[in-house]
Chain A
């Protein structure tokens, strides 16, 4: 709901939407906003307009569900719709009456663009307020004048990073940059400053506008000056020529939005604001109908929100709450779990074999908290309170009363069995035991448990404080109750849960393993290792397949493969196994040995590919095209995700997609490892997989289930 009141001669328009949790621009609010504005324009008694909100936030942007619904509309229609909104905002600044944004709280995207279209911006000095144009994060651009007004206000050099990176600003930062004009300590002061501006500026004209001498109306000024310099100036050369290269270094050309943002600024600043706004909308329409934007909105915004709210949680289970957590093993993982749990206010018992080892685990939290405080991201006074929640110990008895115990000891079945049996009796009644294993099947580990129904896999990723995902693994006997506890705990520590069924490598390790494996296949095929690594990165993976294999270490790969051979699901004749074995025999097990696919010089100079690689895997005279190497690396992971889904290892498409992006860095522009199939098209995917299988091996062969989906839009039945 948007209300309209008259305060003497000033029209006050207040956003207060009730049908959605936050004020957003959508099909409901936009017409109401227009109606209110039109009323104020038309009423001759109205001397000025104040736009504000009755909710804690101002306006947080466009309704992304609406954006997603419209993603398949014809581009021309999206252009027309978007142009309408752009013109609504344009009218605010050309109506002849002063329009003030009284920014009581967070204003993002379209919300901030309302304020930019206003003549004056006064913000309540609230440390929680975020101001920014984050559209790029969902593959869009600030399409309601953002790309045109912000650079015309603060210069393109200052404006572009805010739009290309989508960074939020605090009120004080925005004030310093000249994005807002004034700050108020109280809501009353804010409204007073707004009224004062209106009284002092009865007929404001923007710097990029002028009064038409014939009509007396405001119109766009040709050749209006851009602060900090024009497009074709030395500054422009830096911003556009150099800036484009720097932007591409990050996006690898896989994300179209940053390029369109830069192009909209480049093209738009060469013309007057009216034409610039049209140009912006043209670029917006391209993005708003792009697969990449659809994928980012679907998976990384709406999907992630759903998962964070517990989409995979069994609905019939009552809410649980872990108040006391036990952690077995104070190594890297255990220490990290202790840290994130204590941060969430959970009492943590951190147990290791020795008191010293446990204390060292707690030191990890001390160091991270100090770093956060040093960077101003944490109140130093809060540190002790958080640290006091972590009790390091060597005594199992201290685990008494834990609601949840997570073991994070070495990946040895026998060891895990011992610690399970020792700690389990300390749980509260109906307490849950979790294993942070990354590879060992949960059902097997559950044999050691007295209560396999309450035994569950809770797989964290390293480093725990940075990695957002938690892979929750259901054993054969794990109950929905245990799952609810694990998900509620994951939500409490503000991480994203996905749920998978028990199998070797679960979902994330299994699919990620195909990336490193395909890297080795390429090497074996004589592909230049530099090309392999660059292809991985250019495809959008954070690290090349050989480099990341060095990071996880080849001794671990050997262990996993040996287990697989023992379990009869892998042959020891497998060339990849032979390669891994060979590297282990050479002692080149990765970064920790300072030797793997790369050499890691001890003098601190950057790692480089091991020159000896060529001796073992001669580089073929004929090299594949970059696109082919990228295809092999991405398709291999995607087909494995399809298999995981069809085998029931992963339960939902969303979990498959989120898991791939958050766990091992599968590129988000594709929507995730399973959505990748739809990104390229099911038919294309199947045909390509067949071609790849014919050329490189059966590992690429499409499943029967996938073949059956040819002609469908969705890769898997929903």
Chain B
């Protein structure tokens, strides 16, 4: 079997997903063309060799609809022979795109692909695409489907994470992100977003808030308590009848931020790299996707990581560095607890709580961050994992080459 190599990874900064923040004016298509243009320029890429552009997008409607990946290929000035496809596996879409691209390369069917994702959450709000999973009374009933915030609070309830525990985790995420930003650890991957006049709109992740502490987070109101009291807690507890209530610990400060952003990773075969004169930065060791119980929904990273490790013939201790998406603080906490991973190895530069989670792009952003950090620290192996709506988990293991 052929091997899949990561030749480069680029992302936009994450702009806070509000109408008065930096990226709200930017069309999502432009976030994506920013990424494609930078990849082309940084690598002096002959785009005639790019076979496909696979882009995750979770709300592919309105201006994100109609196959935004193909739209971006044309708009970024790539050769028209490069195809484009948009996919949606909820929050893991960016990593799913990478895995699909890698699988194409490993199978020998394609040699050069760009994979990543985009989401302008300020312009196309989460949930804009509707879906029977959230709307159909029969489906919601049959499977006790609840919004993710309720699921995250259910994890905290089940595994005993107190409000103080999750706030402590979140404060550390902020501290690390502030530190990473101050030390320019993100600049290697960031492609600043500029307007048509060439004026820079945003060059850094906008959500990082210095001075965020357990105490300041402690003042925020639980975000899902009200929603839960209107039947949704009860719906979840129909399946989790061993609990009399859900402890609502998550809020805006310990859940992932709503942001705008895009990312792309250049993936290809060994031969293609040689042909292009590109040095591979990392090799994809194994990938895994799993389905899990959909009500608690967000526990998937654990079995996904186990599956990926098994495929790679590795054990958890072989992994030097983890990027576990901070959809909610309870998710990485659960991951570390279940797999016995030390916090020092997880999200060393902060995560989605401090930096934001542009749904379709995050998997690719985490991959870029992981590879940068492996290179910076000289560590060998890293694992990226995300929890996924509907009860799924994804994990991919990368090995540094440079």
- On whether the beta carbons of A241 and B135 are closer than 8 Å, the reply is yes
Residue A232 is within 8 A (CB to CB) of chain B in the complex = yes
- On whether the beta carbons of A528 and B242 are closer than 8 Å, the reply is yes
SS class, residues of chain A in contact with chain B = helix
Q: From the candidates B127, B137, B237, name the one contacting A244 in the complex (CB within 8 A).
A: B137
Contact A266 B230, CB 8 Å, known A530-B243, A531-B242: no
Chain B residue, CB-CB nearest to A532: B241
The 5 closest A-B pairs by CB, nearest first: A245-B231, A262-B137, A246-B231, A534-B241, A249-B231
SS class, residues of chain B in contact with chain A = helix
Give a binary string over B115-159; 1 marks a CB under 8 Å from any A CB, 0 the rest: 000000000000100100011111011000011000000000000
Question: Which of chain B's residues 230-265 have a Cβ closer than 8 Å to chain A?
Answer: 230-232, 234-235, 237-238, 241-244
Contact A237 B234, CB 8 Å, known A232-B130, A531-B241, A609-B244: no
Residue A533 is within 8 A (CB to CB) of chain B in the complex = yes
Not counting A249-B235, A259-B137, A266-B135, a sample of 6 additional A-B residue pairs whose C-beta atoms are within 8 angstroms of each other reads A246-B230, A246-B231, A249-B231, A531-B241, A609-B244, A629-B241
Q: From the candidates A242, A246, A259, name the one contacting B138 in the complex (CB within 8 A).
A: A259
Chain B residue, CB-CB nearest to A250: B231
Contact A253 B238, CB 8 Å, known A237-B134, A242-B231, A530-B243: yes
Taking the closest CB of chain A, its distance from the CB of B133, in whole angstroms, is: 10
Can you sample 9 A-B contacts with CB below 8 Å? A232-B130, A240-B140, A241-B147, A242-B227, A248-B235, A530-B242, A531-B242, A533-B244, A534-B242
A247 to B138, CA, bound (A): 12
> Residues of B at under 8 Å CB distance from A?
127, 130, 134-138, 140-141, 146-147, 227, 230-232, 234-235, 237-238, 241-244
- On whether the beta carbons of B135 and A237 are closer than 8 Å, the reply is yes
Question: Which of chain A's residues 256-291 have a Cβ closer than 8 Å to chain B?
Answer: 259-260, 262-263, 266-267
Contact A248 B234, CB 8 Å, known A259-B137, A530-B244: yes
- On whether the beta carbons of A245 and B232 are closer than 8 Å, the reply is yes
A535 to B244, CA, bound (A): 11
A241 to B131, CA, bound (A): 11
Contacts of A629 in B (CB 8 A): 241
> Residues of A at under 8 Å CB distance from B?
231-232, 236-237, 240-249, 252-253, 259-260, 262-263, 266-267, 528, 530-531, 533-535, 538, 608-609, 623, 626, 629
- On whether the beta carbons of A245 and B235 are closer than 8 Å, the reply is yes
Taking the closest CB of chain A, its distance from the CB of B265, in whole angstroms, is: 33
Chain B residue, CB-CB nearest to A609: B244
- On whether the beta carbons of A623 and B242 are closer than 8 Å, the reply is yes
A242 to B140, CA, bound (A): 10
Contacts of A242 in B (CB 8 A): 227, 230-232
- On whether the beta carbons of A245 and B146 are closer than 8 Å, the reply is yes
Taking the closest CB of chain B, its distance from the CB of A310, in whole angstroms, is: 40
Q: From the candidates B127, B135, B234, B242, name the one contacting A245 in the complex (CB within 8 A).
A: B234
Contacts of B136 in A (CB 8 A): 240, 263, 266-267
Contacts of B235 in A (CB 8 A): 244-245, 248-249
Contacts of B230 in A (CB 8 A): 242, 245-246
- On whether the beta carbons of A241 and B140 are closer than 8 Å, the reply is yes
Q: From the candidates A244, A249, A530, A535, name the one contacting B140 in the complex (CB within 8 A).
A: A244
Taking the closest CB of chain A, its distance from the CB of B31, in whole angstroms, is: 25
- On whether the beta carbons of B244 and A534 are closer than 8 Å, the reply is yes
- On whether the beta carbons of B241 and A236 are closer than 8 Å, the reply is no
Chain A residue, CB-CB nearest to B138: A263
